[in-house]
Amino acid sequence: MKPVSGERKTRKRPLSGTGFTPFIIRRLLTSILLVFGVTFISFSITQLVPGDPVAANLGQSAYSDPEIVAAFEKEFGLDQPVPVQYYRYITNLLQGDLGVSLSSKRPVAEDLKEYFPATLEIALVAVFLALIVGLLLGIISAVTRDRWPDQIIRVFSLTGVSMPAFWTALTAFYIFFFVLGWAPGTGRLEPGGEPPPTVTGLFTIDALIKGDFQTFRQAFSYLLLPAIVLAIYAVGVLTRFTRASMLEILGNDYVRAARAKGLPEFTVIRRHVLRPALLSIITVAGVAFASLLAGSVLVENVFSWPGLGQYAYRAAVGLDLPGIMGVSMIVATVYITMNLLVDILYRIIDPQMKDSA
Amino acid sequence: MNLLTVENLTVTLATGSGDAQAVRNLSFNVGHGEILGVAGESGSGKTMTALSMLGLLPYKGKASGSIKFDGREILTSSKREYRDLRGKEIAMIFQDPMTSLHPMLTVEVQLTEHLRHHRKVSKDAARNSALELLATVKIPEPAAALRAHPSQFSGGMRQRIAIAMALACEPKLLIADEPTTALDVTVQAGILKLLHQLRKERNLSVMVITHDLGVLSSLTDRIMIMYAGSEVESGLTTDLLRNPRHPYTKGLIAALPGNSASNSKNLLSIDGMPPELGNFPTGCAFHTRCNYAKESCKGAIPEVTNLNSTHRIFCPINPFSEVTSAGSQS
Amino acid sequence: MATLIKKTKRSKSVNSIWRQPLAVVGILIIATWTILAVFAPWIAPYDPNAQDAEKFLTPSAAHWMGTDELNRDIWSRIIYGARISLPYSLLLVVLSATLGSVIGAISGYAGGKVDSFIMRVTDVFFAFPGIVLAMAVAAALGPQIRNAVIAVTIVAWPVYARLVRGLILNAKQNDYVTASALLGSSALRTLVVDLRPNLSGPVFVLASLEVGNALLLLSGLSFLGLGAQPPSAEWGSMVSMGAVNFDRWWVGLFPGLAILTAVLAFNFIGDSLRDALDPRTAKALRD
């Protein structure tokens, strides 16, 4: 409802708006439901497809010994009916217990604590790089629409989303490590290198916390190349999205009105176009971040980066159900949290949404 | 001398199927302190005419001919010269105040950004003149309004803010593109009254573009009727409305609601659809819908016929040249 | 009437596709790969599995792209590889587009609780790390290219479901759908006769945009050893050979370039097709 002419709405701050708290609660609840949905679907699918986790995790000789098999099944609860297994998994999950990995024989939660930060570290650097480059290219592309910079950037960004990450990783590694010698090699630190004391699990941050700049520099040099390779796809996505949303906004009446005021084009773009476009770009960046976590599987493989991707690969090959579920959960949780944050951000920043809600 | 003199303006737009002329050989002028109404159906080229005054034609649009503003030729201006003109000398308000104000910027930013750019005034000075402007366009509580976002206002209030925005740098010419179309009838009257008053107080020249002749009748000094990118008739408002000479103008006037009531037997809605861009008929473009059209109308590009010093029509056969037709009202 | 509209739309976008240089390049590349795949036995200079050259020969006149660890000619293997990568990615897209469209159509047409249930399920799938699930399924089914296709289909259908549902919800507001329902035509008839023309265009464009992704995922799984198995000449698994011998640059470089060109070509085509669609549908595809 529009107010009668003359009276203005008397809402002050968005946070004090009546609809805000219920909105957050509603969104939180659906987010939690989504996480459970993810566990349910990964559980069902991995149960529906044939494949014997026992065979995958025991050696040939052990597998032929029924006693060992029975003991293994009992240890990991595989002797129970599937619904019981799922029920157990969920009740344990509610207590923060993600089960024990079949392949590493350690609690999945501990595995994740070790592997997740490694992936988080390259993903964060990658998304940061991708945002800067993608925004810049997308803006140039939009303002030079259909002229040669736009054409070049269009081909460039399409190439970015068309490169097989594992091959890019390999080629980059060959060139920068083997030929040029600029990149240090595989892993997170040089062989035998002492990781900084764990606070966040991100080696660069932890080294800074300790004040150990040498380790910081080393950790950073090791993560740079994987992060750049990981960023390439996201650069393509963000460039294309930035261009599209800028063009959409450029077609708005309010942009024409801003130009009719005789403002410099730079001001029009920055203040009147980029600001609203940024909102939707941030949304995509959030989602892109989550997909980077999953996409790291192929990149980590080449760089022997001891992260979530490598862990997921081992879990998948070993039909390690708790491991697979753990990875799925953590990636899904990041994705869902990103979406939640973006939605909340939207409500706070965009006054129109605030009013129409 | 006129403030604005347009001669042989032709606007070419890029469409999906090649270039098309949206405005064809249009000539008109606007005097100091005069209100000119430009009327026509959608697609008649009136908005493109307005946008070419500002050098704001859409992507890949081109204008040729001559536009003299305040004695200077502006059509050949560089981008920079146009920018210095826009907002400062020629300002524009758009059809839909719901979409022409930026949803994420405060009223203060939108009212003062061009003022600060063009006049290089301080933030405080700009705010003060913004307050005055809001008072001029009769926004209650100007101080509070400055901090608000456009979405907190009704349509009529938003259009007042848009007018205030346009007036900020005290332009000589105001172009209003369908300023009341998106508004309720009761609100419309207020906006029209405001425009009238501004003209009187500031000796502002105004060009009002609309498809609604009713809006123009009370507001304008002169009216130009456009069809398919060309002028078909123009004259002083009273003259033209009382004594329309072009079949198209007659049709438009007869289609006005008030007239159809008094003249229901002759309810002259114009048959057919306005021609689409790029598909304008040859000769007199109106011949496809004209009840008086003859074979010759298809070939001849209509010549101007001056009825008196201010009233002229572009019709190849001029069917009402001698007597005032029975269909017109007095 | 509906068919008439469809025809004019189709021919317009098909005509304008030839005016877009990127699309033409894409079509030419795909045509080349198709010819190579179809006539592989006549074009390939060597048997792709013959191990009679020497190992790790650098590219030369005799072996344009060198040889691999098992003495095989890489160029010949790449040509034969097109017989795996292209048809399987197309199959994958057809499968997931069909599955997703059917689910989306049910969701959009049924509405109400069915709709919200299905949409929550797609939400879950969107939240899912697709490649992790695909890896798990592929591993459980046993590493084979066919199983990799099934695995990726399971994670790839939701985009189509969401698109088709959205289009149906839009179309439902159109008068002719209401009219046809009022005239007593069955739900199925309405879906098939009245709505299909509106859906096929956008679904086709989305599918064309997804072929590249499908190829990337499939070859990625093969790269990890979860797709095509040796000795079959699949591009992804050929790159993995290059990863083991990364100092022999030609072993991994050329198969990767094959993937890149094919994916790029599909993306050129898909992107141009989307631009040729009317803006509103194009926006629906982006969201």
Q: Tell me the C-alpha distance between A332 and A38, whole Å.
A: 7
Chain B hits for A270, CB-CB cut-off 8 Å, are: none
Percent of the residues in chain A that have a pLDDT greater than 70, as a whole number: 89
B69 forms beta bridges with B4, B72
Q: Cα separations (Å) of C193 from C2, C103, C185, C203, C204? A: 9, 18, 10, 16, 17
Residue B285 Cα, gap to closest chain A Cα (Å) = 30
Quote the crossing angle between the two packed helices A321-349 and C130-141, to the nearest 10°.
160
Nearest-Cα distance to chain B for A351, in Å, is: 6
A180 and A244 in a single domain? The answer is yes
Among the partner-chain residues A260, A265, A267, the one whose CB lies closest to the CB of B92 is A260
**Same structural domain, A186 and A282:** yes
pLDDT at A204: 81
Among the partner-chain residues A262, A276, A349, the one whose CB lies closest to the CB of B114 is: A262
* A203 and A277 fall within a common domain: yes
A23-41: pLDDT as tens digits: 788 888 888 888 888 888 8
Q: Which amino acid is at A331?
A: V
Tens-binned pLDDT, residue by residue, of chain B (330 aa): 789 999 999 999 887 677 888 898 899 999 998 999 999 888 788 889 988 988 888 878 889 999 999 888 988 888 888 888 888 899 998 888 888 888 888 888 898 998 888 888 888 998 998 898 888 888 888 888 888 888 888 888 888 898 888 888 889 999 998 888 777 777 788 888 888 888 888 889 999 998 888 888 888 999 999 988 899 999 999 888 888 888 888 888 887 776 654 444 444 567 777 787 777 888 888 888 888 888 888 887 888 888 888 899 888 887 776 544 444 443
What's the pLDDT tens digit per position in A169-224?
889 888 888 888 787 878 888 777 777 887 787 888 888 888 788 888 888 888 88
Instruction: Identify which has the larger pLDDT, A202 or A238.
Output: A238
Kindly list the strands in the beta sheet with B18-30, ordered across the sheet, starting from the edge strand earlier in the chain: B18-30, B4-15, B62-69, B72-73
Q: Is residue A63 part of a domain?
A: yes
* Close Cβ partners of C21 (under 8 Å, ≥ 6 residues apart): none
Return the pLDDT at B264.
46
Cβ separation of C259 and A34 shorter than 8 Å? Answer: no
Checking if the pLDDT of A135 tops 50, the result is yes
Is residue A72 in a domain? yes
The answer to whether B50 and B92 are in contact (CB under 8 A) is yes
Average pLDDT, chain A: 81
**Mean pLDDT computed over C111-129:** 85
- Partner-chain contact A263 B87, CB within 8 Å: yes
Q: Does A158 touch chain C (CB under 8 A)?
A: yes
Poorest-pLDDT segment among A158-167, A272-281, C96-105: A272-281
Test A5 with B117 for CB contact under 8 angstroms: no
Q: Which two tokens stand for residue A333?
A: 């949780």
State the smallest CA–CA distance between residue A81 and chain B in angstroms.
56
Per-residue pLDDT band for C264 (boundaries 50, 70, 90) equals very high
Residue A195 resides in a domain: yes
Which A positions 162-221 lie with beta carbon below 8 A of chain C? 162-168, 170-171, 173-174, 178
Residues A197 and A302 in one domain: yes
Question: Which value does ipTM take for this structure?
Answer: 0.84
pLDDT at C194 (0 to 100): 65
Domain presence at residue A162:
yes
- Helix ranges (H only) for chain A are 20-48, 53-57, 60-63, 66-75, 82-94, 108-143, 148-162, 165-173, 203-210, 213-250, 253-260, 265-267, 275-303, 308-317, 321-349, 351-356
Residue C189 has pLDDT above 70, yes or no: no
Q: Is pLDDT larger for residue A351 or for residue B92?
A: B92
CB C187 within 8 A of CB C131: no
pLDDT of amino acid A28: 86
A170 in a domain, yes or no? yes
Residue (of C195, C162, C163) closest to C282 by Cα position? C163
Residue numbers in A near B180 (CB within 8 A): none
Query: Which residues of B fall within a CB distance of 8 Å from A271?
Result: 105, 109, 113
CB B37 within 8 A of CB B208: yes
Tell me which residue of A317, A319, A288 sits closest to A301, measured CA to CA. A317
When pLDDT is cut at 50, 70 and 90, the band that residue A353 belongs to is very low
Interacting residues of C260 by C-beta distance below 8 A, sequence separation 6+: A159, A162, A163, A164, A167
**A133 and A63, same domain (yes or no):** no
**E strand or H helix at C250, and its extent?**
helix C249-276
Name the nearest CA neighbour of A140 among A57, A26, A243. A243
Judged by CB atoms closer than 8 Å, whether chains meet at C129 and A51 is answered as no
Best to test chain B binding among A1, A5, A268, A278 (most B CBs inside 10 Å): A5
Q: What is the pLDDT of residue C182?
A: 65
Q: What is the pLDDT of residue B258?
A: 65
Q: How many helices (H) and strands (E) does chain B have?
A: 12, 12
Instruction: Give the pair of three-digit tokens for residue A261.
Output: 């005021």
On the question of pLDDT at C95 being above 90, the answer is yes
Residue type for position A212: D
Contact residues on chain B for A268, CB-CB shorter than 8 A: none
* 3-class DSSP assignment, residue A34: helix
Q: Is the pLDDT of residue C226 over 80?
A: yes
Domain termination site, one of A72, A94, A116? A94
* The predicted structure's pLDDT at residue C282: 59
Sign, Cα dihedral of B195, B198, B200, B203: negative
- What's the full length of chain C, in residues? 287
Question: Is residue A123 in some structural domain?
Answer: yes
Tell me how far apart the alpha carbons of residues A340 and B238 are, in angstroms, rounded to a whole number.
62
C278 pLDDT above the threshold of 90: no
The beta-carbon neighbor of A41 closest among C124, C216, C260 is C124
Tokens 């390439």 found at: A232
Residues from chain C that touch A342, judged by Cβ atoms under 8 A, are none
Residue in A closest to C134 by C-alpha? A316
Mean pLDDT of A81-98: 82
- The Cα–Cα gap between A30 and A53 comes to 32
Do A142 and A231 lie in a common domain?
yes
Question: How does DSSP classify residue A14?
Answer: G
On whether both A132 and A68 belong to a single domain, the answer is no
User: Cα–Cα distance between A101 and A323 in angstroms, integer?
Assistant: 5
Tell me if C220 and A34 make a contact (CB, 8 A cut-off).
no
Answer yes or no: do A33 and A179 share one domain: no
Contact B103 A145 (CB under 8 A): no
Torsion C3-C31-C161-A249 (CA) sign: negative
Out of A202-216, A270-284, A315-329, C22-36, the most confident range is C22-36
Q: Which residues pair with B29 in a beta bridge?
A: B5
Q: Single out the residue in A48, A64, A94 at which a domain terminates.
A: A94
What is the C-alpha to C-alpha distance for residues C19 and B288, in angstroms, rounded to an integer?
A: 34
Is there a single domain that holds both residue A34 and residue A123?
Answer: no
Last-in-domain residue among A299, A317, A335: A317
Distance, CA of B57 to CA of C68 (rounded, Å): 60
pLDDT at C280: 58
Find chain C residues with C-beta within 8 A of A174's C-beta.
246-247, 249, 252-253
**B9 membership: H or E segment, kind and range:** strand B4-15
pLDDT band at A9 (very low <50, low <70, confident <90, very high): very low
Mean pLDDT of A250-277: 87
Residues of A engaging B, defined by a Cβ cutoff of 8 Å: 2-6, 8-9, 145, 252-254, 256-265, 267, 271-272, 275-276, 349-352, 355-356
Q: What is the pLDDT of residue C188?
A: 65
Neighbour order of strands in the sheet with B173-177: B90-93, B173-177, B205-210, B35-39, B222-227, B230-236, B312-314, B304-306
Across B53-67, B270-284, C135-149, C153-167, least confident range: B270-284
| In a shared domain, residues A137 and A286 | yes
C25-64 residue pLDDT tens: 999 999 999 998 898 888 878 788 777 767 777 887 777 7
Query: Quick one: A160 and A304 in the same domain?
Result: yes
Nearest CA in chain B to A11: B152
- DSSP secondary structure string for all residues of B43-81: TSSHHHHHHHHTT---TT-EEEEEEEETTEE-TT--HHH
> Which of C116, C128, C146, C253 best probes binding to A when mutated, by most A CB atoms within 10 angstroms?
C128
CATH of the domain at A303: 1.10.3720.10
3-state secondary structure at position A121: helix
What band does C18 get if pLDDT is binned at 50, 70 and 90? confident
Domain that holds residue A11: 2-94
**Cα(A351)–Cα(A348) distance, rounded to whole angstroms?**
7
- A168 in the same domain as A58: no
pLDDT at site C96: 93
Which pLDDT score, from 0 to 100, does residue A38 have? 85
- The helix or strand, by DSSP H or E, that contains position C32, with its residue range, turns out to be helix C21-38
Give first-to-last CA distance, chain B, whole Å. 33
Structural element, H or E, at residue C189: helix C187-189
Cβ contact, residue pair C136, A319, below 8 Å:
yes
Check whether C262 has a pLDDT greater than 80.
yes
Instruction: Give the distance from residue A255's alpha carbon to the nearest chain B alpha carbon, in angstroms.
Output: 8
Contact C121 A331 (CB under 8 A): no
Question: Using CA atoms, how far apart are residues A238 and A281, in angstroms rounded to an integer?
Answer: 7
Is A12 a member of any domain? yes
pTM of the model: 0.80
Residues with Cβ within 8 Å of C64's Cβ and at least 6 positions away in sequence, in order, are C45, C75
For the ranges A228-237, C16-25, C177-186, which has the lowest average pLDDT? C177-186
A210 is a domain residue: yes
Q: Alpha-carbon distance C254 to C148, whole Å?
A: 23
CB contact under 8 A, B114 and A276: no
Spacing of C-alpha C163 from chain mean position: 16
C239:A166 CB<8 A = yes
Q: Which distant-in-sequence residues (6+ apart) come within 8 Å of C36 by Cβ?
A: C43, C79, C82
pLDDT of A311 above 80:
yes
Chain B nearest CA to A245, separation (Å): 16
Question: What is the tally of structural domains in chain A?
Answer: 2
Instruction: Report the C-alpha gap between C8 and C156 in whole angstroms.
Output: 31
pLDDT value of residue C9: 43
Count residue pairs from A and C with Cβ separation < 8 A: 164
Q: How far apart are CA B160 and CA B187, in angstroms?
A: 10
Residues B127, B170: contact at Cβ < 8 Å?
A: no
Structure tokens, B33: 């302190």
Distance CA A319, CA A101 (A): 10
Checking if the pLDDT of A152 tops 90, the result is yes
